[in-house]
Amino acid sequence: MDLEIGRGEVGWQLNRFDDGKRSPDKLFALTTNSEPIGYGYIVRSVGVDSSGRTLTAHLQLIKRSSDFGPDIQNLNLTASFETKDRLRVRITDADHKRWEVHQEFIPRETHSSPRSSLLGKRSSTSLPSSEDKRYFHTNTISDLSFTLHNTTPFGFTITRCSSGDVLFDTSPKNDSPDTFLICKDQYLQLSSSLPANRSSIYGLGEHTKRTLKLKYNQTLTLWNADIRRSNVDVNLYGSHPFYMDVRSHPGLGISHGVLLFNSNGMDIVYTGNRITYKVVGGVIDLYFFAGPVPELVMEQYTELIGRPAPMPYWSFGFHQCRWGYKDITEVRNVVAGYAKAQIPLEVMWTDIDYMDGYKDFTLDPVNYPLDQMKKLVDALHHNDQKFVLILDPGISINSSNETYKRGMQADVFFKCDGVPYRGEVWPGKVYYPDFISTFVGAGKYTAHWTGDNAATWDDLAYSIPGILSSGLFGIPMVGAYMCGFARNTTEELCRRWIQLGAFYPFARDHSEKFTIHQELFIWDSVAATAKKVLGLRYRLLPYFYTLMFEAHTKGIPIARPLFFSFPEDTNTYTIDS
């Protein structure tokens, strides 16, 4: 399938995975001729605005290159101190407006035009040419500083004033076009060197990873796709181009954050000593968060993107779900099974089985009749329990479907070329009011789950980096399917999983149709373990809820990597099990 979309975005051929899903293997695994993709830009003028907070530079293309389409000739660069802890660097087309995430989703500052006067120059100590100058932009109350290098090609650096540590350095290597700034209509490239021996990087998701700390020499593709969580190192449901960098020198555990605020598909190439963004459109909109400790990085990051939504107290109880409960009698029996085994059950769920023809906001009149559903819900409420129905975002295109008619009247469906975009999922042909995916700022509105995993020991291990990463993305209410979703679980795996899952922020058992049942009362050993560990969880509910309050007010995750508590202990930088 070829995708063709508007200015600032690109079309490419998607590869098919073995499981039948479509997703890019690598967005830019493309061959080119001997000509470099680009030659970079030079600085034509520099100025500051009337407030003195914002530096603006006008950049000009050095030389055209035909690879990946035409270059953008003129660019505007702005560097602005938005708060004492947040520095923004934005590079845009000077002549044409390009796609950016709408202000209504995440409000950002706009900047006034610069004055014509130049900032003071200082000769660079590293490059002896008399033409080589540096423009410094600082704020007296910020620990961050911005330096514009008037080299050919140009570059810029972000430095921590208190230590002199360079946090982000786009200075080009003249023998390596991969390090140049490249801006084309359908390809953006920005690269920064990193101190591999003292920099630990976390984030840049969403992927299933074996470790929380990112390993060297990998390409991380951000392109939302409905791919099962059991697939390692491929792009999954969300795109979060944010990372936290924890440094071991100078100063143990000194941390900062970096966000590329761009919603287009991208590859991020991380080698350890360099990070390179390759994006299919939009603009370069970078935010740097000063920290200097992990908790403050999260507080500063979520101040921009939005604090996580508060979750109700009951949501921290234990949840049970399954795709494949054939009728309401089976659901009742599951609720009764937990009561008989004296295992806490706070929330009962049903998957899409309850629907009439898999249509949202309907009930199967035979297997889930309305009167019986009301009785079930009343009984659960009588016991202070809750009931959740799973909804899918595809609305069946059918003139007799009341939900479809309401959606058309309210004009809520996504559009392509002016008409609702049509897909095909459970009920057949559908329109979409929304998707099963996340982006920067999603935590303001929603909780999350790590995805459709499998009943394997590896998936049990993957759940820890997945949950910790979600917290870094500002979505702290997250959990993995306990005992595994796909494949048949085993008694021992399920017993061990509940021992871990009892301490997930979101604790739910969920499994796939046609797999064996895995409710926690099925095996005596699992039931005994579940009573013990869930009993401990319930005694800790006030603590969980306190952590939720802290997440909502400060953005600090509920489940936190150990280096949050012990940033000066470098041994904690690699602990994720």
Q: What is the pLDDT of residues 265-300, one digit of tens each?
A: 999 999 999 999 999 999 999 999 999 999 999 999
Task: Give me the number of domains the chain comprises.
Answer: 3
The answer to whether 54 touches 48, Cβ cutoff 8 Å, is yes
User: Does 577 fall in a domain?
Assistant: no
Going from the C-alpha of 440 to that of each of 243, 270, 302, 303, 322, the distances in angstroms are: 12, 20, 10, 12, 29
498 and 422, same structural domain? no
Residues of the chain with pLDDT under 50: 1-25, 29-31, 114-130
Coil, helix or strand for 260? strand
319 and 288, same structural domain? no
180 φ/ψ angles, rounded to the nearest 5 degrees: -80, 155
Question: Which two three-digit tokens encode residue 49?
Answer: 């605005």
User: Does 3 fall in a domain?
Assistant: no
The answer to whether 142 touches 132, Cβ cutoff 8 Å, is no
User: Does 272 fall in a domain?
Assistant: yes
Please report the pLDDT score of residue 112 as a whole number.
52
Q: What is the CATH number of the domain that holds 472?
A: 3.20.20.80
**Residue type, position 261, single letter:** F
538 and 458, same structural domain? yes
Question: Which two three-digit tokens encode residue 381?
Answer: 């409420």
The answer to whether 104 touches 116, Cβ cutoff 8 Å, is no
Let me know the angle formed at the C-alpha of 279 by 278 and 284, rounded to the nearest 5 degrees.
Answer: 100
**Element spanning 531, H or E:** helix 524-539
> For residues 575 and 577, what is the distance between their CA atoms, to the nearest angstrom?
6
User: Does 357 fall in a domain?
Assistant: yes
466 and 431, same structural domain? no
Please report the pLDDT score of residue 27 as a whole number.
57
399 and 376, same structural domain? no
211 and 150, same structural domain? yes
113 and 46, same structural domain? yes
Adjacent-strand bridge partners of 137: 146
The answer to whether 444 touches 305, Cβ cutoff 8 Å, is yes
461 and 322, same structural domain? yes
**Domain range spanning residue 19?**
15-292
35 and 69, same structural domain? yes
Side-chain-side CA neighbours of residue 573 (13 Å)? 22
Task: Indicate the residue among 435, 459, 490 that finishes a domain.
Answer: 435
Coil, helix or strand for 60? strand
> For residues 463 and 127, what is the distance between their CA atoms, to the nearest angstrom?
48
Task: Indicate the residue among 260, 292, 324 that finishes a domain.
Answer: 292
329 and 286, same structural domain? no
> For residues 283 and 438, what is the distance between their CA atoms, to the nearest angstrom?
20
pTM for this one? 0.92
Going from the C-alpha of 138 to that of each of 87, 163, 250, 301, the distances in angstroms are: 10, 15, 21, 20
400 and 501, same structural domain? no
> For residues 535 and 516, what is the distance between their CA atoms, to the nearest angstrom?
26
Residue 197, Cα to own-chain centre: how many angstroms?
26
234 and 186, same structural domain? yes
Q: Which of 424, 7, 346, 430 is nearest to 187 (CA)?
A: 7
The answer to whether 136 touches 122, Cβ cutoff 8 Å, is yes
Please report the pLDDT score of residue 123 as a whole number.
32
Handedness of CA 512, 514, 515, 520 (dihedral sign): positive
Task: Indicate the residue among 435, 464, 486 that finishes a domain.
Answer: 435
> For residues 318 and 506, what is the distance between their CA atoms, to the nearest angstrom?
8
Start-to-end CA span in the chain (Å)? 39
Please report the pLDDT score of residue 133 as a whole number.
85
> For residues 154 and 548, what is the distance between their CA atoms, to the nearest angstrom?
45
